[in-house]
């Protein structure tokens, strides 16, 4: 069993075009031989967690870019991996949905001990980062802990962001 999952979130074309949303998310569980009732429970839960309830029978081309990205994130998370590699996991999402995905990643880390490695330009991701590696010209320039960074991103709908 592989405990590492990555999903091409910057290019949602990683979804299978001939499968609907539910089937795309369930694919990983079918491959590892999960029981049908376990697949249904986990996929429905994940669809709810990423805010795609009601879209289960939609083909990828019927979903917006942000919905495709959330579907790809759900597919990466449905197997409960120990490590998640995420390239710009909030890149195609509006601010509110991006914050919901950040909260989901934070919850996975805190409650399930999932290690999450992200490559991003989104400063909101600092909120779920223990360590930040600053890259310059493809090389690590500086490593900081979250506590060492003083960043004020702002507010959204009256709530502090970042």
For 8-44, write each residue's pLDDT tens digit. Answer: 544 445 899 999 999 999 998 999 999 999 999 999 9
Contacts 24+ apart (CB under 8 A), 105-114: 108/77, 108/84, 112/80, 113/82, 114/80, 114/81, 114/82, 114/83, 114/84
Report the range out of 8-17, 18-27, 58-67, 92-101 with the highest average pLDDT. 18-27
In angstroms, the CA 17 to CA 38 distance is 24
Give the global pTM. Answer: 0.71
pLDDT over 50 (residue 2): no
pLDDT over 90 (residue 6): no
What's the rounded mean pLDDT across residues 102-113? 82
């Amino acid at each position: 069993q592989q405990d590492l999952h990555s999903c091409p979130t910057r290019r949602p074309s990683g979804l299978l075009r001939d499968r609907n949303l539910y089937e795309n998310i369930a694919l990983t569980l079918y491959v590892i031989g999960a029981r049908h009732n376990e697949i249904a429970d986990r996929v429905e839960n994940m669809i709810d967690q990423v805010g795609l309830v009601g879209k289960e029978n939609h083909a990828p081309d019927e979903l917006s870019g942000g919905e495709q990205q959330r579907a790809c994130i759900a597919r990466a998370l449905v197997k409960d991996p120990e490590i998640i590699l995420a390239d710009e996991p909030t890149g195609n999402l509006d601010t509110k949905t991006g914050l919901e995905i950040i909260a989901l990643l934070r919850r996975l880390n805190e409650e399930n001990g999932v290690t999450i490695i992200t490559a991003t330009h989104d400063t909101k991701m600092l909120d779920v980062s223990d360590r930040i590696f600053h890259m310059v010209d493809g090389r690590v320039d500086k490593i900081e802990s979250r506590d060492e960074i003083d960043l004020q991103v702002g507010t959204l709908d009256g709530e502090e962001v970042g």
